[in-house]
A and B are shown apart, each in its own frame.
Chain A
Amino acid sequence: MSTAIVTGSARGIGRAICEKLAKDGVENIVVCDVKAEWCEETVEAVKALGANAIAMEINVADGASIEAGVDAIIKQFGAIDICVNNAGITRDGLLMRMTEEDWDSVLDINLKGAFLMTKAVSRNMLRARKGSIINIASVVGLMGNAGQCNYSASKGGLVALTKSAARELGARGVRVNAVAPGFIKSKMTDVLTDDVKNRMLSVIPMGKFGEVEDVANAVAFLASDAAAYITGQVISVNGGMLMP
């Protein structure tokens, strides 16, 4: 029996991660997003792949919402083996014009959300002496990006959270890693202008944008026993856009 929870999985990368985990044989997949009804499409897609899926309404910026959700999962499935902190938002704008609210909302969801989730699931994972936590960071968390001070800070913070949590939990068999996607085709990037897209393409050695499945494959690897000795790492999935 294995159970995974993926935050922000109503669509995009989160949904692709749920589907890939289901294909890889994870038995129970908890699809969560801010509204339970948003999760239905992902739930149906996962079920079609033969896994069990449930929708769960979790606001990752709210500790009480997370605690309640995690408790319910433990009651239903007995354990959480895989936790993917994927929920994220953008509120782009130049630093000088960025509002405090734009900063706070992005940090609350992208960074504090991952902290609260990690805290909630680690209790059960510590006891089980196993578990894999994967944080979805971003290439901009490693290199910065004009217009995304809030988003890049949250993603850079996720990288540091990943490393610290890996150090704390490693002795108990709980692994914590991050995946840092580059430019991936999704609703979050569809809104960019052609000019911006062309500029991005020019700095990607592979000459194309990534697919959500490319990210999901890296996550599934880190979630699996094939990555049993890997912790505290950041796997970049960016077509060569950044080589740290």
Chain B
Amino acid sequence: MTLEEKVKTIICETLSRGAEEVTPAADFINDLGADSLDLAELVMKIEDEFKDNMAGESIPEEDVASLKSLGAIVEYLKSKGVPAEL
């Protein structure tokens, strides 16, 4: 499974959206109807899933604001050293 597929699965589950809607550029709030609690939950799940890659650190609040789409999360995780192929 690729990193993008894994993150996409988490997003689909958390926001209750179909895979076809969750495109790399789709904005969680404007395009997918997420609210702030959805985003907090999403970040939580991403943290749990990839905690081994981030040395158990949580994602800093200043970084959370930039995580607006599937593509943004994938790029962020790659920058933290998560491999593109899991």
Contacts and interface: CB of A to CB of B under 8 A. Distances in A.
Interface of A: 123, 126-127, 168, 171-172
Given A127-B44, A127-B45, A172-B37, 8 more contacts: A123-B44, A126-B37, A126-B41, A126-B44, A127-B41, A168-B37, A171-B37, A172-B41
A66 B68 CA distance: 31
Contacts of B41: 126-127, 172
Contacts of B37: 126, 168, 171-172
A115 to B, nearest CB: 16
A172 B37 CA distance: 9
A180 B10 CA distance: 40
A123 B47 CA distance: 12
Interface string B37-56: 10001001100000000000
Contacts of A172: 37, 41
Interface in B5-61: 37, 41, 44-45
A185 to B, nearest CB: 41
Contacts of B44: 123, 126-127
B71 to A, nearest CB: 25
In the complex, the 6 A-B pairs of residues with the closest C-beta atoms, listed nearest first: A126-B41, A123-B44, A171-B37, A168-B37, A172-B37, A126-B44
Contacts of A127: 41, 44-45
Contacts of A123: 44
B14 to A, nearest CB: 10
11 contacts: A123-B44, A126-B37, A126-B41, A126-B44, A127-B41, A127-B44, A127-B45, A168-B37, A171-B37, A172-B37, A172-B41
A74 B43 CA distance: 19
Contacts of B45: 127
Contacts of A171: 37
B4 to A, nearest CB: 23
A37 B38 CA distance: 40
Nearest to A170: B37
Contacts of A126: 37, 41, 44
A168 B41 CA distance: 12
B46 to A, nearest CB: 13
